[in-house]
C-alpha cells in the first residue's frame, strides 16, 4: 500500500474537483436511496388509505419526482466531474513519469524493452485511475451515506436505525478487507501477465514482416496464446471472486431485510393512521442501502492490480539517472585543443568487462579523426562518452579545456551532432524528419538539394514530395535509405562537432565515396570524429586512431601509421 502514497499526493492538483465529485456522488446515492425509501412508504400508505379516503399524495409524489430528477442530475454531473478530475491527474502523472524517464536515457532505459516501457507509461498509468473512481470516492461516499441513513431513520426508531447503520458499516469494513486480501494473491500476477502479453503483441506487430520472411510467426503466435491463456486464467479468478462478492452482499441484503422487517413489526410505530407504512419505509431503506455496497467489494479486488501497476511505474521513476547535467557552462571557449581525454576507462553498468581502458587522446579544433577497430573494441563507446550518454568510470574528458560535466545539456546538444548506427525515423512526414536536424527552419529547397546529394531523389519524385509520410520506423525506406536519411540530417546540421558512428555502413563503394566527399565538404570548418571499420578514403583524415581490445594501440596520420613496418594499422591495410 505504501507504493500508492506518491500517487495519492497527485490529488492535490485537482483537489476541488475531486471533493466536488465525492459530494455529487453522495448526493446521487442519497437521492437514489431516498427515492426507493419514499416510494415504498408512499405505495404502502396509498394502499392503507384505500380508494374512498382522503390522502394528500401531492407532497410525496412531488418528492418522488424531485428525487428522481435529482438522482439523474447528480449522477450525470458526478460522472463528468470525477472523470475529468481523474483524467487531469492521469495526464499530470503521465507527464511526470515521462519527465522522470527522459534523464534515464539511454543508460538506464537500455535495461528495458521498448514495448515494456510503453506498457508502463500507458497501461500501468491507466490502471491507477481505479484509485479514485472505484476505490476512494465510493468508499468515502458510502461512509457518509450510511451515517445519513442512520441519522434519518433514528428520528423514527433509534434501535432499528442503529441496527441498519452498524450492520452496513461492518459490511463496508469487512467485505472490502476480505476481498482485498484475496485480490492481492493474484493481482500482481494478473498485471504482469497482462503486461507481458501486451509487450509480446506489440513486438509481434512490429516484427510482422521479419517473422513472415523467416517463417517464425507460428512460434511467436504460440507464445502469445500461452501468455493469453495465463492472463485469462487470472481474469477468471477475478471474475469468480467478483461474483462471490455480489452473492455474499445479496445474501447479507436479504438477511438484513428479513431482520429489519421482523424488528420493525415488533416495535412501537406510534398511533398514526399510516404507521404500518413505516414498515415498508424501513424495509426499502435497508434494501436500497446495498446500492452503496455492491460495487465496493469487487472494486477492492483490483487493489492488487493497482499496487502492482504502481510498483512497476515506481520501479522506473525511482531510479537515479547515471548522468546528471548540472553544469552551467553555456558556450565553448576558443581553444586549439577542442577535445582531450585523459586516461579514460569505462565499464557499462552491470557489466564487469571493460569497454575502454586507459585511453588518452587529444583532438584539435577542425581536425578530421577516423577511429578504427574491430567490432566490440570500444569505438562506439568513445562516442557515447563524448556526448555524455555515460560518464567515464575513471579519468577525465575535457571539452575546450573545461571538464565536460561543466557544460549544460543544451550546450552539449547544440555543439555536438551525433549520428548513431541506428537511424531513428519518426512516424511523420519526410520534411519533419529532416527539420529536427536544425532548430531554425530549414528551407524546402535546401532539403531537396541535400536529399539529391545523398541519393534519395526518388523520394521527391513521389506525388507528396517532402510531405511523404514515412510511418512507424520508416517502413517505406530500406536500411540503406534510412542511413542516407541520417546523413541528410548531418548535412543540414550546423553543430561545430560531428560524431559519426559507421555512417557509410550498408552503402556500396561508389555511394560511400560520394557520401564521404559530402561529409568532408560539410565539415571543412568543423571537427569530425568518425568511427568506421572500412578504409575507404581513410587517407583524407588528419588523424587515425586504432583501438583494439579496449585499448588505443596506435594514433597518427595516414602516412605515419602506414610507414610503421610492424604497425597494427599497416597490417590491417595489407590484410584488407
> Angle CA(461)–CA(464)–CA(467) in degrees, nearest 5?
115
CA distances from 385 to 181, 344, 356 (A): 49, 10, 10
pLDDT tens-digit map of 349-380: 877 788 888 899 999 998 999 998 888 888 88
CA distance 280 to 42: 9
**pLDDT score recorded for residue 527:** 92
Q: Which residues pair with 552 in a beta bridge?
A: 547
- Within the chain, which residue ranges are assigned CATH 1.20.1560.10? 2-317
Work out the number of other CB atoms within 10 angstroms of the CB of residue 199.
Answer: 21
pLDDT higher than 60, residue 51: no
- Within the chain, which residue ranges are assigned CATH 3.40.50.300? 365-395+402-575
pLDDT higher than 90, residue 69: yes
Helix (H, G, I), strand (E, B) or coil at 365: coil
Helix (H, G, I), strand (E, B) or coil at 271: coil
Side-by-side strand order, sheet with 402-403: 356-364, 337-346, 394-399, 402-403
Give kind and range of the element (H or E) at residue 416: strand 416-419
pTM summary value? 0.72
CA distance 316 to 299: 26
Work out the number of other CB atoms within 10 angstroms of the CB of residue 513.
Answer: 14
pLDDT higher than 60, residue 499: yes
Answer for the pair 383, 412: CB distance below 8 angstroms, yes or no: no
- Angle between the N-to-C axes of helices 444-453 and 479-492, in degrees from 0 to 180, rounded to the nearest 10: 130
Average model confidence (pLDDT) for the chain? Answer: 85
Q: Which residues pair with 497 in a beta bridge?
A: 416, 527
pLDDT higher than 90, residue 530: yes
Residue with cell 568506421: 532
Distance of CA 535 to the CA centre of its chain: 43
pLDDT, mean of residues 197-214: 83
**pLDDT score recorded for residue 529:** 93
Confidence of residue 342 (pLDDT cuts 50, 70, 90): very high
**pLDDT score recorded for residue 550:** 86
**pLDDT score recorded for residue 191:** 85
Q: Which CATH architecture has domain 365-395+402-575?
A: 3-Layer(aba) Sandwich (3.40)
pLDDT, mean of residues 49-70: 78
The DSSP call for residue 150 is H
**pLDDT score recorded for residue 80:** 92
pLDDT, mean of residues 118-144: 82
Nearest to 488 by CA among 415, 387, 419: 419
Which residues have a Cβ under 8 Å from the Cβ of 537 and sit 6 or more positions away? 513, 516, 517
Confidence of residue 570 (pLDDT cuts 50, 70, 90): confident
Confidence of residue 271 (pLDDT cuts 50, 70, 90): low
Please report which residue ranges of 372-508 form alpha helices under DSSP H: 379-386, 409-415, 430-435, 444-453, 457-460, 479-492
Rg (the chain; Cα; Å)? 35
pLDDT, mean of residues 27-45: 85
Answer for the pair 335, 153: CB distance below 8 angstroms, yes or no: no
Q: Which residues pair with 402 in a beta bridge?
A: 399
Letter string b/e over residues 17-50, b meaning 16 or more CB atoms within 10 A of that residue's CB? bbebbbebbbbbbbbbbbbbbbbbbbebbbeebe
- Domain topology for 2-317: ABC transporter transmembrane region fold (1.20.1560)
Amino acid at each position: 500500500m505504501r507504493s500508492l502514497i506518491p500517487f495519492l499526493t497527485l490529488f492535490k492538483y485537482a483537489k476541488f474537483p475531486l471533493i466536488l465529485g465525492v459530494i455529487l456522488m453522495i448526493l446521487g446515492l442519497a437521492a437514489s436511496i431516498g427515492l426507493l425509501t419514499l416510494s415504498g412508504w408512499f405505495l404502502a400508505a396509498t394502499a392503507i388509505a384505500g380508494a374512498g379516503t382522503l390522502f394528500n399524495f401531492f407532497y410525496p409524489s412531488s418528492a418522488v419526482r424531485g428525487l428522481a430528477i435529482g438522482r439523474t442530475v447528480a449522477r450525470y454531473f458526478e460522472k463528468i466531474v470525477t472523470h475529468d478530475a481523474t483524467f487531469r491527474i492521469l495526464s499530470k502523472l503521465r507527464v511526470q513519469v515521462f519527465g522522470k524517464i527522459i534523464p534515464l536515457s539511454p543508460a538506464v532505459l537500455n535495461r528495458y524493452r521498448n514495448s515494456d516501457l510503453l506498457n508502463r507509461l500507458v497501461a500501468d498509468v491507466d490502471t491507477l485511475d481505479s484509485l479514485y473512481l472505484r476505490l476512494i470516492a465510493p468508499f468515502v461516499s458510502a461512509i457518509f451515506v450510511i451515517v445519513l441513513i442512520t441519522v434519518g431513520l433514528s428520528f423514527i426508531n433509534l434501535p432499528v436505525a442503529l441496527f441498519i447503520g452498524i450492520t452496513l458499516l461492518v459490511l463496508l469494513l469487512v467485505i472490502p478487507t476480505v476481498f482485498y486480501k484475496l485480490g492481492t494473491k493474484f493481482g500482481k500476477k494478473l498485471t504482469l501477465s497482462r503486461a507481458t502479453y501486451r509487450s509480446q503483441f506489440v513486438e509481434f506487430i512490429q516484427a510482422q514482416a521479419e517473422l513472415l520472411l523467416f517463417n517464425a510467426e507460428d512460434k511467436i503466435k504460440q507464445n502469445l496464446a500461452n501468455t493469453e491463456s495465463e492472463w485469462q486464467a487470472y481474469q477468471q479468478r477475478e471474475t469468480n471472486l467478483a461474483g462471490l462478492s455480489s452473492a455474499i452482499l445479496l445474501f447479507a441484503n436479504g438477511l438484513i431485510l428479513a431482520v429489519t422487517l421482523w424488528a420493525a413489526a415488533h416495535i412501537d410505530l406510534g398511533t398514526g393512521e399510516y404507521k404500518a407504512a413505516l414498515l415498508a419505509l424501513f424495509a426499502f431503506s435497508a434494501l436500497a442501502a446495498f446500492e452503496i455496497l455492491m460495487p465496493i467489494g469487487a472494486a477492492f479486488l483490483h487493489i492488487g492490480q493497482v499496487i502492482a501497476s504502481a510498483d512497476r511505474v515506481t520501479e522506473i521513476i525511482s531510479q537515479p539517472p547515471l548522468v546528471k547535467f548540472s553544469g552551467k557552462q553555456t558556450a565553448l571557449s576558443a581553444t586549439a585543443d577542442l577535445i582531450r581525454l585523459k586516461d579514460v576507462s569505462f565499464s557499462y553498468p552491470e557489466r564487469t568487462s571493460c569497454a575502454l581502458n586507459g585511453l588518452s587522446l587529444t583532438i584539435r579544433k577542425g581536425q578530421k579523426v577516423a577511429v578504427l577497430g574491430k567490432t566490440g573494441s570500444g569505438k562506439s563507446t568513445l562516442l557515447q562518452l563524448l556526448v555524455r550518454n555515460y560518464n567515464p568510470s575513471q579519468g577525465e574528458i575535457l571539452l575546450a579545456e573545461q571538464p565536460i560535466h561543466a557544460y549544460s545539456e543544451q550546450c552539449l546538444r547544440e555543439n555536438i551532432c551525433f549520428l548513431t548506427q541506428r537511424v531513428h525515423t519518426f512516424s511523420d512526414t519526410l520534411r519533419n524528419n529532416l527539420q529536427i536536424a536544425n532548430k531554425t527552419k530549414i528551407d524546402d529547397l535546401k532539403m531537396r538539394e541535400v536529399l539529391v546529394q545523398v541519393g534519395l531523389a526518388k523520394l521527391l519524385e513521389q506525388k507528396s514530395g517532402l510531405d511523404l509520410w514515412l510511418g512507424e520506423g520508416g517502413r517505406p525506406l530500406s536500411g540503406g535509405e534510412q542511413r542516407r536519411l541520417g546523413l541528410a540530417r548531418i548535412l543540414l546540421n550546423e553543430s561545430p562537432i560531428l560524431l559519426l558512428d559507421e555512417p557509410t555502413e550498408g552503402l556500396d563503394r561508389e555511394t560511400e565515396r560520394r557520401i564521404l566527399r559530402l561529409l568532408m565538404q560539410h565539415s571543412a570548418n568543423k571537427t569530425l570524429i568518425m568511427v568506421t571499420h572500412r578504409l575507404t578514403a581513410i587517407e583524407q583524415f588528419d588523424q587515425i586512431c586504432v583501438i583494439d581490445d579496449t585499448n588505443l594501440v596506435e594514433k597518427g596520420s595516414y602516412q605515419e601509421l602506414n610507414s610503421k613496418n610492424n604497425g597494427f594499422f599497416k597490417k590491417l591495410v595489407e590484410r584488407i
